[in-house]
Structure 1
Amino acid sequence: MPRSQRSPLLLAGLLATAGAAHFAAPRRFDETVPRTLPGTPRAWTYASGVAELALAAGLALPRTRKAAALATAAFFVGVFPANVKMAVDWRHRPTPQKAAAIGRLPLQIPLVLWARGVAKNAEGRS
């Protein structure tokens, strides 16, 4: 299978794994929910897990791939404040944890670009 055909499936796998993790270990995600959001952190954790699972399903299907990829790019931008909160909250933790939290911040850029690339490639195949 060519790389261009594997890419959306790999992105779908990443999202499906992350989405499932929101249900398997919700407490660690609850801690990253910005306090300014209404409702409970657990509700946001589950909602983002559902969103990731839905995006994964959309990416896996060629018919919905373009729309799902664009929504995925927007999702990655939307969850950036949670990554910022994690980096701020973890600034006094041991160096490996602090580095992981800070390292997540620039990681959002290639994730957004990856999702946009999947959308663009899906556009060419329509």
Structure 2
Amino acid sequence: MPGSTTSARLLSGLLIGAGVAHFVAPRQFDAIVPRGLPGAPRTWTHLSGLAEIAVGAAVAHPRTRDAGALAAAGLFAAVFPANVKMAYDWRHRPAPLKAVALARLPLQVPLVVWALRTRGTGRA
């Protein structure tokens, strides 16, 4: 059963807000770019920020919502290695920070599910 239009708007806002954050405060994102990726971390930070903004815009528009929702699910899966890196890098930080980093790992599952449930909300 498809989700609501409100849910799609919230997902869109989350994606666009996160994408903008990649440009406003890029250092925090640079730090979690997996080392195995070619090029500079800042390049990946900007590319992923642009992807989040584009996918968020696609989710926002009813005509592109289904494709945007699938792209959002893929994007949430694609950033999982960055969350793993963050959890590993933060393993010696104070417990509250470590908990935040670890909580990001299972959070990807409901984000993917949310994105997939957003499909079908743009049809008349």
Which digits, 9 at most, give the CA deviation of each residue in 1:46-69, with x for residues without a partner?
Answer: 000000000111011000000000
Q: Which residue of 1 aligns with 2:44?
A: 44
What's the % identity of the aligned pairs?
61
CA contact (8 A) 2:23 2:49 kept: yes
- Stretches of structure 2 that go unaligned for 5 or more consecutive residues are none
Which digits, 9 at most, give the CA deviation of each residue in 1:76-116, with x for residues without a partner?
Answer: 00000000000000000011100000000000000000000
Q: Does 1:59 align with 2:59?
A: yes
**Counterpart Cα distance in 2 of 1:29 and 1:82:** 9
Q: Which residue of 1 aligns with 2:92?
A: 92
TM-score, normalised to structure 1's length?
Answer: 0.93
**Counterpart Cα distance in 2 of 1:73 and 1:56:** 11
Q: CA deviation at 1:5?
A: 1.3
CA contact (8 A) 2:8 2:121 kept: no
Q: Which residue of 1 aligns with 2:116?
A: 116
**Counterpart Cα distance in 1 of 2:78 and 2:121:** 22
**Counterpart Cα distance in 2 of 1:30 and 1:45:** 6
**Counterpart Cα distance in 2 of 1:60 and 1:109:** 21
Q: CA deviation at 1:18?
A: 0.4
Q: Which residue of 2 aligns with 1:74?
A: 74
Q: Which residue of 2 aligns with 1:35?
A: 35
Q: Which residue of 2 aligns with 1:101?
A: 101
Q: Comparing both chains, which one has the higher relative contact order based on Cα–Cα distances under 8 Å and sequence gaps of 6 or more?
A: 2
- Stretches of structure 1 that go unaligned for 5 or more consecutive residues are none
Which digits, 9 at most, give the CA deviation of each residue in 1:9-34, with x for residues without a partner?
Answer: 00000001100100000000000000
Q: Which residue of 1 aligns with 2:83?
A: 83
| Structure 1 residue ranges, 4+ long, deviating more than 2 angstroms after superposition | none
Q: CA deviation at 1:122?
A: 3.3
Count of paired positions: 122
**SS of match in other structure, 1:39:** coil
* RMSD between superposed Cα atoms in Å: 1.2
